[in-house]
Structure 1
């Protein structure tokens, strides 16, 4: 199962048929996939399911209709235990970006954090999770797959938001400010701060 967010609403790619009352079901073909995405974008329903019997093939099939863009980013903690946030498009977000050729996911995550925030001396601790969401670029739908890493840094220099990426603020936030920031963030960012499911 994959949970892909469209306009903050979940589109669940699944190989199981559940109770219809959970939300509308669509088959894995281009017309139905686009119909499900459009319905969620226009808030016609709270969630939707796309069914395909072969779990191994679900993501490949889906991304043959909505092209996949691979990205990586970081949940960065400093020596005071504060977490690095960026502010763009009127929302609090975390630094991330699209992978370049000949770059692995970890290199991409570190480069993007450095470029978007000015923070140096980054060390990856572990992989956190992968999130998915759909966005529009030049009028075309794209599926973004973001690989998130927990990072540490001793950097205590100036924070510089990357202007060309529309980042207008970069801040270190402690627990109380994190809670407040997450109220004005994206669901995929909030997920990163949830306790792991047992």
Structure 2
């Protein structure tokens, strides 16, 4: 199943699961062309309650279509675990987050993820353990002058290990207010004040079912 977040709204699709998900989806939307897509996003933008939309299309592959019609940004980041089993988190604009950032030209996603963690948290000698599922979200960019200034951001995630004891140092020029190590038992605090796509990622990583709209 594909899942793209727009704020905390969820856009889902996969023809094989349409019938099984019918009772859990707020609405079905047929995407016929780019105008249909932009209209749906504009309506979602004005919707205050959190909804799940099941997308379908007889004409296009939806992920490829989103990548073609929206401005694409690739980012990378990490879930970092230290020798004590704690996980690394940052707080930015008052919300808990994971260290991540844009992939620079010529970088591979894994190298970009390590660089971003190092820059945002002030630690080094990270070891990439494995690739994790990517997350996708859509937002408007104030830097794009067109009316339909939608961006599709794919973040490539990696599990990393860290064996050092460096003092954490938030990258304040990136508006990072705090960096800290949290135990798995403290994640409920994170879930209450983070983004839907990160709840999804952390739930997958920890093997937990997280209610996205909570």
Kindly report which structure 2 residues correspond to 1:1-198, keeping only aligned pairs within 5 A, or say none.
1-15=1-15, 18=19, 19=22, 22=25, 23-43=27-47, 46-53=51-58, 57-138=61-142, 140-194=149-203, 195=207
Alpha-carbon contact 1:89-1:166 (below 8 Å) kept: yes
Q: CA deviation at 1:15?
A: 4.3
Q: Residue 193 of structure 1 aligns to a residue in which SS?
A: helix
Q: Which runs of 5 or more structure 1 residues have no equivalent in the other structure?
A: none
* Deviates further, 104-113 or 7-16: 7-16
Q: CA deviation at 1:34?
A: 1.2
Distance 1:93 1:117 in 2: 12
Alpha-carbon contact 2:32-2:59 (below 8 Å) kept: no
**TM-score, normalized by length of structure 2?**
0.83
Q: Which runs of 5 or more structure 2 residues have no equivalent in the other structure?
A: 210-214
Distance 1:7 1:151 in 2: 27
Q: CA deviation at 1:44?
A: 6.0
**TM-score, normalized by length of structure 1?**
0.89
* Aligned CA distance change for structure 1 residues 53 and 81 (closer, same or farther; 3 Å): same
Show CA shifts across 1:18-48 (max 9, x none).
5598313131411111122222222266122
Aligned length: 196
Show CA shifts across 1:50-83 (max 9, x none).
322477x321211222122111110000111100
Alpha-carbon contact 1:117-1:170 (below 8 Å) kept: yes
* Aligned CA distance change for structure 1 residues 103 and 28 (closer, same or farther; 3 Å): farther
Distance 2:48 2:188 in 1: 29
